[in-house]
Every structure is written in C-alpha cells, then in structure tokens.
Amino acid sequence: MLCGYPPFASEDDNETIDLIKSGVVEFDDEAWSDISVEAKDLLLGTFLPENERLSAKKAMAHPWIKKYSNSDDKGPILEAQINRLKEFQKNSKFKKAILSYLSTRVTDDDIKKEKELFETIDKNKDGYITVKELQEVTKDTLKEIDIKNILMSVDLDKNGAINYSEFIAATMNDIITKDAKKVESAFKFFDKDNNGVIDKDDLKQILKTNEDVSIDDQVIDDVVRE
C-alpha cells in the first residue's frame, strides 16, 4: 500500500514465488522516494524468515505505527502517484478508453493504494475529486493551471470532476496495465465482431452502449477518429 504495488511481483507465477522465497526487497524505485526510513524498517522486519520476523505485537509497537496510529494526517500524496495523473494527459484518447475499461476489471487488492488516495483526496466523500480538492492535497506543489489540465484530461465523461473509475484508470500501476490477461480481456471486450481487429464500428458500439465505461460523446468521436 505504501508504494502502490506488491513487494514481490512478476508476470510469471513461478518467478513471483522465487522472489517471495528470497525475501529480498529493493527500495530503489521512484515510488519509494517519499517513504520514510521508519516505514521501510517496519517492512523489512515483516519480510524476515519466520523465526526472525516481527511478531504482531512488536509490529504494532514499531515507531512508525505509533507515529501514525493516533493521527488523522495521512501525509502528502506520493509524487509518483501525481506523476501518473500527469502522464495520463499524454496518452492517446484510445489508450484512455482502454485504461477506463481496465479500471472496471481490477479487484480491490489490485488498487488498494489508489483507492486509499482517492478517499484521501475526496474530502466531502461525494465520489468526485474537484479542482479545489486536488489543489488542497498537492499542498501548492502544482500550479492551478496544471491541476486544471490534469482534471480536464482525466475527466472522460466531462462532468467537471474526476470520478472513482477515472481516477483508477489514470493512476493504475504498470503491473496492472501490463498484465497480459487483463490486456487480452480488454482487447476481446472491444473486438465485438471477434475478427481480431478493433475497428471503428467496434469502438462506437462499445463506447456508446456500455455502462461500465462512462465517456463523453465528443471524446468517443475523437477516439474513433484516432
């Protein structure tokens, strides 16, 4: 949950098992740049062999747990997550449509960190993130124009705010978006006539009629033109 992806993960199940058995965790990814030394120390203590691993009691007594257990402050949003929102702007409208579909096919376990972030930003708990709410949690690290550009890019149904599905589509980590099974499922979802090609008719049919993917008509037209 701290970095947005599992500590041991691979597209190959056997390789994932080998990684788990090795117990070696690396913190050199950009997502860990804002994670405290105390948090990393706690994680390392839970990844040790069973006879050396922190007990539940010791884990709950760890300085990092004590520091935040009685605090309402969830800390600043990870820069890596904000960067994902920024990068979403660069995607083609077609890719955004695909990511929107993928966002409806993930499990809660896949997106624990993203879900937590959405709930943190959505201060009034109405299910939408506004410019003001996004501005508050970035703590003035982004200019207002940049925040508005992010919102306009992520807001695919053009209602003036970012809903939960749109947020998940924009912030999903690479492990999900590069999952072969999920990508294959997305392709089959869009290839309605099962001819192995996603053509304009397929796109129009699915984007205009499917309730899971909420996208503005003008965006749909732009996707088809692409």
Residue-wise pLDDT for 75-110, tens only, equals 445 577 778 888 888 877 777 777 777 777 777 787
Distance CA 78, CA 85 (A): 11
According to the model, what pLDDT value does residue 10 have?
74
> Quick one: what percent of the chain has pLDDT higher than 90?
3
Distance CA 3, CA 29 (A): 9
Distance CA 164, CA 149 (A): 18
CB 156 within 8 A of CB 214: yes
According to the model, what pLDDT value does residue 128 have?
92
> Quick one: what percent of the chain has pLDDT higher than 70?
70
Mean pLDDT computed over 164-184: 74
CB 109 within 8 A of CB 62: no
Q: Which distant-in-sequence residues (6+ apart) come within 8 Å of 27 by Cβ?
A: 35, 40
Cα torsion angle, 129, 36, 55, 46, sign: positive
**CA end-to-end distance (rounded Å), the chain:** 36
Assigned token pair, 192: 């309605």
Mean pLDDT computed over 22-41: 79
According to the model, what pLDDT value does residue 70 have?
53
Assigned token pair, 213: 């993917």
Beta strands per DSSP E along the chain: 128-129, 162-163
User: Which of 29-38, 145-154, 177-186 has the largest mean confidence?
Assistant: 145-154
Distance CA 73, CA 142 (A): 20
Q: How many residues are listed for the chain in this entry?
A: 226
According to the model, what pLDDT value does residue 129 have?
92
* pLDDT level of residue 147 (50, 70, 90 thresholds): confident
Mean pLDDT computed over 205-214: 57
Distance CA 75, CA 113 (A): 13
According to the model, what pLDDT value does residue 123 have?
87
Q: Is the pLDDT of residue 19 over 60?
A: yes
Residues 102-138 have pLDDT tens digits of 777 777 787 888 888 888 888 888 999 998 888 887 7
More confident residue, 189 or 217: 189
> Side-chain half-sphere of 63: how many Cα atoms within 13 Å?
6
CB 89 within 8 A of CB 149: yes
Mean pLDDT computed over 27-47: 81
* pLDDT level of residue 74 (50, 70, 90 thresholds): very low
Buried residues in 166-194 as b, exposed as e (16+ CB within 10 A): bbbbbbbbeebbebeebeeebeebbebee
Helix axes 79-88, 144-154, angle to 10 degrees: 60
Strand partners, 162: 129
What's the whole-number average pLDDT of the chain?
76
Q: Is the pLDDT of residue 168 over 50?
A: yes
More confident residue, 153 or 224: 153
